[in-house]
Amino acid sequence: MSVVVLCAALPGLDPLTGSEVLVAQNVAFAVIGLTMVAAALRMVTTTNVVHAALYLVIVLAGAAGLFILLGAEFVAVTQVLVYIGAIVVLFLFGIMLTRGSYGTDEDVGRERHLMAALVGVLVLGVTAGSLVDTFRDAELARSAPSTAAQIGDSIFGQYIVPFEAISVLLLAALIGAVVVARSD
């Protein structure tokens, strides 16, 4: 069902859109998008925890590709460095320290899966409906990619207070994680 939604959203297949159609970018988007959706579906259905972490890597790398496609180079690089480089490694350490706990999802009730899938599909349906209704054929502007200098100016100018708050939050989370996980 998700594949149908994605294909319907591809403008390159529609001769009525009129404006310039960027075939190469749309092909890249289709490949990345289908890969991401397939990997995400495998991630939430596989019973092997390590495989789930590796599928998560595929989804995160696909998101980095989308950011490049959107001209957000700095966010893409940060995505690869922080998410794939640090967070996934953290997950793998978590799996290792909890010995994987393999097979805990085997005997989960069928009804639970059904209700969860229902909620997911409903969230998707409502969101997709409102998005299609609001941004029916809004085109992305073809502008120059945003540079790291622009983002730096923005962070250290207009958004300096949220930036400092994030810094304190990271420090607090670090100390909190150490205190919680310490064995005494």
Partner 1 sequence: MLLNQFLLLSAVLFGIGVYGVLARRNGVLVLMSIELILNAVNINLVSFAAFREAVPGEVFALFVVAVAAAEVGVGLAMVLLLYRNRRNIDLTEIDLMRG
Name residues contacting partner 1, limited to 135-164 (CB under 8 A): 135-141, 143, 146, 150-151, 154-155, 158-159, 162-163
Alpha-carbon distance values, 114 to 37, 45, 108, 111, 144 (Å): 19, 13, 11, 5, 45
Taking the complex as a whole, the smallest distance from the CB of residue 152 to partner 1 amounts, in Å, to 10
In whole angstroms, how close is the CB of 46 to partner 1 at the nearest point?
Answer: 9
The answer to the question of residue 4 lying near partner 1 (CB under 8 A) is no
177 lies in the binding site for partner 1 (CB under 8 A): yes
Considering only residues 35 through 74, tell me which ones interact with partner 1, judged by CB under 8 A.
36-37, 40-41, 43-44, 49, 52-53, 56, 59-60, 63, 66-67, 69-72, 74
The half-sphere exposure of 64 on its side-chain side, counting CA atoms within 13 A, is: 17
Q: Which of residues 67-96 bind partner 1 (CB under 8 A)?
A: 67, 69-72, 74-75, 78-79, 82-83, 86-87, 90-91, 93-95
Q: Who contacts 39 (Cβ-Cβ below 8 Å, separation ≥6)?
A: 55, 56, 58, 59, 62
For residues 23 and 12, the answer to whether their CB atoms sit within 8 Å is yes
Q: How far apart are CA 181 and CA 184, in angstroms?
A: 9
As measured in angstroms, the least distance from the Cβ of 146 to partner 1 is 6
Decide: is 98 part of the binding site for partner 1 (CB under 8 A).
yes
Contact 70, 126 (CB under 8 A): no
Under rule CB under 8 A, residue 31 binds partner 1? no
Tell me the number of residues near partner 1 by CB under 8 A.
93
Would you say 113 and 44 are in contact if contact means Cβ atoms under 8 Å apart? Answer: no
**DSSP character at residue 18:** -
Q: Minimum CB separation from partner 1 for residue 15, in Å? A: 14
In the list 13, 27, 31, 117, the residue contacting partner 1 (rule: CB under 8 A) is 117
CB of 144 to partner 1, least distance (A): 9
Structure tokens given for 166: 């994030």
